[in-house]
Amino acid sequence: MSVDPYMRGRMNDSKSYVPPFELGKVLDGGAVGEVVESRASTLKPGDVVVSNFGWREYFVASPEQLQPVSPEIQPLSAYLGALGMTGMTAWAGLNLVEVKAGDVVFISGAAGAVGNVAGQLAKLRGCRVLGSAGSSEKVNFLRKQCGFDAAFDYKTGPILEQLKLAAPDGIDVYFDNVGGEALEAALSVLRLHGRIIACGGISLYNDEKPRPGPANLGNIIGKRLTMKGFIVSDFLDRRPQFVQEVGGYFKAGKLKNEETVVSGIEQAVPAFIGLFAGKNVGKMVVNLRSKPAA
Ligand SMILES: NC(=O)c1ccc[n+]([C@@H]2O[C@H](COP(=O)([O-])OP(=O)(O)OC[C@H]3O[C@@H](n4cnc5c(N)ncnc54)[C@H](OP(=O)(O)O)[C@@H]3O)[C@@H](O)[C@H]2O)c1
């Protein structure tokens, strides 16, 4: 099963694009698993399906609530990462701001599930790709394994200074996963007609009071910037194109599915909380298999 930052928002009793979790009810979220018993003609034991029935080891569902996927893709958790919701977020976000060859793209939260795939896809499109992440291990992962042209640890100094060093001539696109200081720095270094894709703002999710916005929003006017927000679920009808393009890269060995796996449902809560402390490289997933794989 998947644990995701957006689940934090579901723990607030407020109106959003997804309803809050309810007290006394099982949580839900993305999961991939095997059918063990079936009364439906379209599914048989052993079939692999993606569902929204995470946070539990077994469940009963109707076929309409399940999406069959090929068992040939391994590990199956790739359907929660590069080939799943987070990979599709990276792909849809890049498309929305029309990322193209030659663009200089800066990605925050770059070593996470969305960020590392966004960076790899931008490289495949011929961009110069820069990333920020919260440790030297993650910076090395971005440079050495994901092909980023430059990466820095945002915890070691002001983001603006580090970004200016990585992009002395500015950036064309900012893929925002974290908000806050990173957004403010990006606003300062974006070039004329630059684009911001507002994907997430994890640095703000645990705030009890809203923080004042970036002090330099005026850059949007002077530099004629565009800032676009989106929610991946609005793009489900484009799944076939996503599967063809991103699935094709994965099968051809051009796209890596990095993940951090913890085992056992009792580890699901620490894994979720760990997202806010940077405990994951790539997609954070929880393996619910009761016995180790044979
Ligand atoms: N718009 C959509 O439809 C959509 C869909 C999926 C995800 N998202 C958003 O995309 C972002 C990334 O999601 P993900 O699933 O890929 O999660 P993720 O990046 O795999 O995991 C969260 C990462 O955020 C970083 N982080 C935590 N607290 C931070 C802070 N205070 N400041 C800066 N970075 C912090 C940590 O990495 P470090 O070690 O680098 O700090 C952590 O590993 C989130 O904001 C999420 O809400 C949006």
Pocket test for ligand 1, best of 178, 196, 272 (most atoms within 8 A of CB): 178
Confidence of residue 199 (pLDDT cuts 50, 70, 90): very high
Q: How far, in Å, from the CA of 114 to the mean position of ligand 1?
A: 8
Reported as type and span, the H/E element at residue 152 is strand 150-153
Q: How far, in Å, from the CA of 179 to the mean position of ligand 1?
A: 10
- Give Dmax (Cα) for the chain: 62
Secondary structure class of 274 (helix, strand, coil): helix
Secondary structure class of 153 (helix, strand, coil): strand
Pocket test for ligand 1, best of 91, 130, 177, 211 (most atoms within 8 A of CB): 177
* Closest atom, ligand 1, to C-alpha of 280: 43
| Closest residue CA from atom 29 of ligand 1 | 203
Residue 181 has which token pair? 């200081």
Cα–Cα distances (Å) from 133 to 12, 39, 156, 157, 270, in that order, read: 27, 47, 10, 12, 20
Burial (CB < 10 A; 0-12, 13-18, 19+), residue 223, is: middle
CA distance 59 to 262: 21
* Closest atom, ligand 1, to C-alpha of 232: 3
Model confidence at 173: pLDDT above 80: yes
What letters, b where the CB count within 10 A reaches 16 and e where it falls short, cover 63-98?
A: eeebeebeeebeebbbbbbbbbbbbbbbbbbbbbbe
Q: Return all residues near 199 (Cβ < 8 A) that are at least 6 apart.
A: 89, 93, 114, 175, 176, 177, 230
Model confidence at 294: pLDDT above 80: no
- Average pLDDT value for residue range 133-152: 98
Residues paired with residue 277 on neighbouring β-strands, in sequence order: none
Query: Which of 15-24, 58-67, 96-105, 123-132 shows the lowest mean pLDDT across its residues?
Result: 15-24
Ligand 1 surroundings by CB, under 6 angstroms: 4-6, 86, 89, 109, 111-115, 133-135, 138, 177-178, 199-203, 230-232, 275-276, 278, 280, 284
Share of the chain above pLDDT 70, in %: 98
| Closest residue CA from atom 19 of ligand 1 | 112
Q: How far, in Å, from the CA of 112 to the mean position of ligand 1?
A: 6
pLDDT in tens, 58-91: 999 999 999 999 999 999 999 999 999 999 999 9
Model confidence at 293: pLDDT above 70: no
CA distance 148 to 129: 5
CA distance 123 to 126: 5
**Residue spans of alpha helices (H) in the chain:** 6-9, 85-96, 113-124, 136-140, 159-166, 180-189, 219-222, 239-242, 248-251, 268-274
* Closest atom, ligand 1, to C-alpha of 230: 1
What letters, b where the CB count within 10 A reaches 16 and e where it falls short, cover 132-169?
A: bbbeeebbebbeeebebbbbbebeeeebbebbeebbee
| Closest residue CA from atom 46 of ligand 1 | 200
Q: What pLDDT was estimated at residue 289? A: 85
CA distance 174 to 197: 6
Please compute Rg for the chain using Cα positions.
Answer: 19
Residue type, 76: L
Q: How far, in Å, from the CA of 203 to the mean position of ligand 1?
A: 8
Alpha carbon 101 to chain centroid, angstroms = 22
Secondary structure class of 276 (helix, strand, coil): helix
Q: What pLDDT was estimated at residue 112? A: 98
Q: How far, in Å, from the CA of 26 to the mean position of ligand 1?
A: 24
